[in-house]
Structure 1
Amino acid sequence: MTLLPLLAAAAPKAVSGHLNPVKLFLDADIVVQIVMAGLILASVWVWMIVLSFSLRSGGIRTRCDTYERAFWKAKDIDAFQAEWEARDTPSARVAAAGLAEWRASARRDKDGTRQRLAQAMDGAIAQEADRLAERLNFLATVGAVAPFVGLFGTVWGIMNSFFQIGQQQNSSLAVVAPGISEALFATAIGLFAAIPAVIAYNRFSHRVDQLEARLQRFADRFHASLSRDLEAG
């Protein structure tokens, strides 16, 4: 006996008059079952992304706070960067990009040096934002597509119900209602997957924008500091 039939059999008799999601799934047409299973897997993956992104973004924010406070107090910038090299800190990688361009520049063309420094750090900022947002496209896809996938399962299930009416020559509600309930359950699962995905995508996109703006402010301040050194040299 597989897990789903066991769950259906274990459902309390007291709730037999209410909807049993496991029974709705088991009684549905095979096509509707495939749709439901795909939507459930998508929903599980959405919640995994939500949890992992929340933990990762929180850790990044904390490390950036610590790094940036210590960066402006560092006496030996090379030793300081070496200490932070192995940590997942976007601010450190933006600073490393600026320092690498600073060391590679001849500095005879001051305007050109400033431009290359800005480009190097802007590129690093864009790369950090892309790295953090790499899984958010899945949330957007689920949020946009899941309701329509659920609707497809519903339409297929209703078509199957009407086909059964024709086969049984009986159009009573008792014949039609169970099949329609199973079909509508597919739309419910689609919405269950889509709504958290849309909310999470909007929230996390805002966090990525905040990080990008934060890194840009740090890069601008560092660029100003290097520009002063360039003028002094």
Structure 2
Amino acid sequence: MEADMSFFALVTRASFVVQIVMLILLSASVLSWVVIVLKYKALKQATADAIRFEDRFWSGINLSELYQQVKRKASEAKGLARIFESGFAEFVRAQKNRSNTEMMLSGVQRSMKVAVAREEDYLDSHLSLLATIGSISPYIGLFGTVWGIMRSFIALGAVEHASLAMVAPGIAEALIATAMGLFAAIPAVIAYNRYAEKVERLSNTYENFAEEFATILQRQSHASEGQVTQAPVTQGQVGA
């Protein structure tokens, strides 16, 4: 009797509909864990890249030199490096065209705004999948449970002498669907909330950097007509 009530016995004995529900939930769980692992690596790398680039930017390096370094590895540039490259390239074009400061600043801000939006889209990618799995998996599991219990009661009504032993396996089969739904949903919801918070922090970092960099370029434009000097050593100097 114990073997008949084992997990695998209950799964194999479940109705076709409940088995399909279990297969869907198992696939959703595997997919969510793949996304969780890949997203963890991507956000960890994005955070590390942002820290490294900010360290280089605020170290006092010549902006033209930094731009050339980033441009040489343009295909690998992400996050702050991509935003910097976009803004500085627009700044150089504006200087070559002898645009006034207002036109230059407007062009730089637009260019970096587009770059920030693209980077934020990259950070947000696949998060909606985690949210979807987290929200619908319990309902899919509940559907399988309702179907299984309904089937058990229909079978129970077809016999003259009913007992708990007759209905228990069917109810157990049905409840497995609910358990699998929760198993798929809980990690997805936790990961989504955690990653959404990290994405928000990185987005704020990107937007703040774009504003600070635009301010620096505006000052450079006012200070000299032609050449770009060095970035301030500390962020505190931006507001000075």
TM-score range (shorter-chain normalised) is 0.7 to 0.9
Alpha-carbon displacement from aligned partner over 1:110-132 (angstroms, at most 9, x marks no partner): 22322222222122112111112
Judged with a 3 Å threshold, the aligned counterparts in structure 2 of structure 1 residues 172 and 193 are, in CA distance, closer, same or farther, namely same
Matched residue type, 2:165: A
Out of 24, 28, 36, the residue aligned to residue 42 of structure 1 is: 28
Matched residue type, 1:86: S
Residue of structure 1 equivalent to 2:203: 212
CA contact (8 A) 1:129 1:212 kept: yes
Please provide the CA RMSD for this pair. 2.0
Shift of 1:96: 1.3
Gaps of 5+ in 1: 1-12
Q: Does 1:133 align with 2:124?
A: yes
Q: Does 1:77 align with 2:66?
A: yes
Aligned residue-pair number = 219
Structure 1 range deviating more: 30-39 or 81-90: 81-90
Shift of 1:18: 9.9
Residue of structure 2 equivalent to 1:158: 149
CA contact (8 A) 1:32 1:156 kept: yes
Alignment of 1:1-233 (within 5 A): 16=2, 20-72=6-58, 73-75=60-62, 76-105=65-94, 106=97, 108-232=99-223, 233=225
CA contact (8 A) 1:107 1:230 kept: no
Alpha-carbon displacement from aligned partner over 1:77-116 (angstroms, at most 9, x marks no partner): 3322224423253111101111232233345342232222
The separation in 1 between residues aligned to 2:37 and 2:101, in whole angstroms, is 46
The separation in 1 between residues aligned to 2:4 and 2:44, in whole angstroms, is 41
Judged with a 3 Å threshold, the aligned counterparts in structure 2 of structure 1 residues 88 and 27 are, in CA distance, closer, same or farther, namely farther
The separation in 2 between residues aligned to 1:33 and 1:82, in whole angstroms, is 54
Structure 1 range deviating more: 208-217 or 17-26: 17-26
**Aligned residues with identical type, % of pairs:** 38
The separation in 1 between residues aligned to 2:87 and 2:120, in whole angstroms, is 17
The normalised TM-score by structure 1 is: 0.87
The separation in 2 between residues aligned to 1:38 and 1:169, in whole angstroms, is 36
Q: Alignment partner of 1:86: what SS? A: helix
Task: Tell me: higher relative CO, structure 1 or 2? Use CA pairs within 8 A at least 6 residues apart.
Answer: 2
Structure 1 range deviating more: 167-176 or 101-110: 101-110
The separation in 1 between residues aligned to 2:206 and 2:113, in whole angstroms, is 9
Gaps of 5+ in 2: 226-240
Structure 1 range deviating more: 116-125 or 199-208: 116-125
Shift of 1:17: 7.5
